[in-house]
Amino acid sequence: MAALQQSPVAFHPKSPPAARIRAKSLYQIPLRSSFSGNIRHLRLAGKSGLKLRPARHGGAAGSKMMDSASSSYASALADVAKSNGTLDATSADLEKVEKIFSEPQIFDFFVNPIIAVEKKREVIDDIASSSKLQPHVANFLNILIDMRRIDLINEIVKEFEIFYNKMTDTEMAVVSSVVKLDSQHLAQIAQGVQKLTGAKNVRIKTVINPSLVAGFTIRYGSSGSKLIDMSVKKQLDEIATQLDFSDIVGSLAT
């Protein structure tokens, strides 16, 4: 089974072609700061500006609004990050959040309606402290808890990545390999993807996939629609097809 190898690395043509690895660190930060900015489909409410409320629509429009809730929340956060100049830092924070909430026990804790909101806020405080989340990101998580929409966090992270890439003219490429690739190889791949796409920046996510046998694959484009397959598995499949060894390969696989 494929497994995430590391956090995304970023390639910027004006800087040296080196991979940038974002690591966790332990710091204490203040929480409950104001969350504001240009909010599309959302509006701020409450004296402290801490409440995000989806704009009300009726009938089919209301249903559509709920379906696009993840995109709306992600757009709101992206607007705030852009307005205060923290797009890169916010993207890095959400990578940490995504990893944390990928743990089933943590996700189940936050979506459990029986657990008190206050208790969930305490855990967010701990997460914010141990992961060095920016105040507006920690506050955003508390907003989702208050709105009982924390279950959307994984979808929101994916939607934020889309907004981030559009705002920064960044192409996302997913590189799958059998072993961990070094930063020099990742930088070369990033340069290649940049030439193919003409994007200003290229971000790479790496994935370990033992089934490739050797070599690597690169997925990029809208929703990973484009594929460059440099794996030994592809070569073996092509040889098996040409020599009609499919029955033998199938029997060995079972």
- Report if pTM > 0.95: no
**What 3-state class would DSSP assign to 30?**
coil
Angle between helices 153-167 and 135-146 (to 10 degrees): 140
- Measured distance CA(117)–CA(128) in Å, rounded: 16
How far from 175 is each of 8, 27, 37, 200, CA to CA, in Å?
Answer: 10, 32, 35, 19
What pLDDT does residue 216 have?
Answer: 86
> pLDDT averaged over consecutive 10-residue blocks of the chain (254 residues)?
45 38 27 35 33 42 57 93 93 94 94 94 94 94 94 93 90 88 88 88 88 85 78 72 60 55
- With the CA atoms of 190, 194, 197 and 198 taken in that order, what torsion angle do they form, in degrees rounded to the nearest 10? 160
E strands, 64-135, where? none
| Contact (CB, 8 A) for 231 and 216 | yes
- Measured distance CA(179)–CA(215) in Å, rounded: 9
- Measured distance CA(80)–CA(86) in Å, rounded: 8
What pLDDT does residue 35 have?
Answer: 40
Question: Can you list the domains of the chain with their CATH numbers?
Answer: 31-166 (1.10.520.20), 169-253 (no CATH)
* Residues present in the chain in total: 254
What pLDDT does residue 124 have?
Answer: 94
What pLDDT does residue 171 have?
Answer: 87
Sign of dihedral through CA atoms 151, 37, 160, 70?
positive
What pLDDT does residue 234 have?
Answer: 72
Angle between helices 117-131 and 104-111 (to 10 degrees): 140
